[in-house]
Amino acid sequence: MSELRPDKLRECGIDPERVPAHIAIIMDGNGRWASHRGLPRLEGHRRGYKTVDRVVRLAGEFGIKALTLYTFSAENWRRPRSEISGIMKLIASAAHQELRKLMDEGVQLRLSGRTDDLPDFVRQALLDDVRRTQDNTGLILNLAINYGGRGELVDAFRQIALRVQRGELSPDDIDERTIAASLYQPGLPDPDLLIRTAGEMRISNFLLWQIAYAELHVTHVLWPDFGEEDLLKAIADYQSRVRKFGGVVNSPGQDLASAAAPDLSPAPSIS
């Protein structure tokens, strides 16, 4: 298990008791990182993988409970064939190489996305890690692969429609909880903080349902360069915000996170 580093957090003015439970990251800028150096784009993805390694370790050390990484979007299939195949090989080899570390650090791997459509060698490698790490109790690492936010909602609505068709559910009983419970990872609470690297001010079809109340932190740092200081800055930025969930702040500095309307927080604890 990761050794917690509350002192490092305090040194940066961060309250270790109020770190975001779930951080989601749009890992952007691998291609730019490579082209700035005259390197092939795949080299950027290789360096991006090293950053994944670093950020997973740091998240454990800073007491983050869950990390969702946008690893391959449903739209990424539009990239050149050689880049797609390079990324797929990188993901599969990471799944083989990192298993020992995931076990040592107590990380539990989960997947979000249409994983059935991944090449066999990638799906098998990932599912093997998911199975082997399922009883780990440390950080939950949720990789969004072949993931699209609209596609996730389509898949959820299809499931719900089937339950209605079978007579298991009445349309009148469908509420926000029904939809949240039909997403790819229903046991995960919504992300508290969404980080996007490389400066674009877009959501890019990521976790459309789950980020309704997430705090956003966009940095110009390219993903391969994203390090400890950048993660600490994002967490400090998150703690500087007052979360109101559509309500009002009753007294100065009050954080209403715990006062969120129950309907807005369908999965309040990590499971």
Catalytic residues: 28, 76
**Site for ligand FPP contains 45 (CB under 6 A):** yes
Residue of 12, 84, 90, 99 that binds ligand FPP (CB under 6 A)? 90
Burial 114-152 (b: 16+ CB within 10 A, else e): bbeebeeebbebbeebbeebeebebbbbbbbbbbbbebb
Angle between helices 81-104 and 41-61 (to 10 degrees): 20
Residue 89 Cα to chain centre, angstroms: 21
- Least spacing, CB of residue 92 vs ligand FPP, in Å: 9
Closer to ligand FPP by CB, 90 or 164: give it.
Answer: 90
Residue of 9, 52, 58, 139 that binds ligand FPP (CB under 6 A)? 52
**Site for ligand FPP contains 87 (CB under 6 A):** yes
What is the C-alpha to C-alpha distance for residues 184 and 153, in angstroms, rounded to an integer?
Answer: 9
CB 197, CB 28: distance < 8 Å: yes
Closer to ligand FPP by CB, 32 or 114: give it.
Answer: 32
Six token digits for residue 117: 């459509």
**Site for ligand FPP contains 196 (CB under 6 A):** no
Of 83-91, 117-125, 151-159, 260-268: span binding ligand FPP (CB under 6 A): 83-91
Query: Which residues, in sequence order, are bridge partners of residue 22?
Result: 66
**Site for ligand FPP contains 143 (CB under 6 A):** yes
Residue of 2, 30, 210, 219 that binds ligand FPP (CB under 6 A)? 30
What is the C-alpha to C-alpha distance for residues 50 and 60, in angstroms, rounded to an integer?
Answer: 16
- Least spacing, CB of residue 54 vs ligand FPP, in Å: 11
| SS3 category, 92 | helix
Residue of 14, 23, 43, 49 that binds ligand FPP (CB under 6 A)? 49
The site string for ligand FPP over 218-237 (x = CB under 6 A, - otherwise) reads: --------------------
**Site for ligand FPP contains 86 (CB under 6 A):** no
Closer to ligand FPP by CB, 52 or 218: give it.
Answer: 52
Q: Which of residues 53-72 bind ligand FPP (CB under 6 A)?
A: 69, 71
Closer to ligand FPP by CB, 121 or 213: give it.
Answer: 121
Phi-psi region of 183 (alpha: psi -120 to 50; beta: other; left: phi over 0): beta
CB 163, CB 242: distance < 8 Å: no
**Site for ligand FPP contains 91 (CB under 6 A):** yes
CB 118, CB 143: distance < 8 Å: no
Q: What is the DSSP letter of 4?
A: P
Q: What is the DSSP letter of 243?
A: P
Closest CA to 194 of 204, 184, 182, 185: 204
Closer to ligand FPP by CB, 117 or 173: give it.
Answer: 117
Closer to ligand FPP by CB, 49 or 62: give it.
Answer: 49
Six token digits for residue 250: 């009753």
Contacts of 75 (CB under 8 A, 6+ apart): 148, 204, 205
Point out which residues bind ligand FPP (CB under 6 A): 27-32, 45, 48-49, 52, 69, 71, 76, 87, 90-91, 94, 143, 198
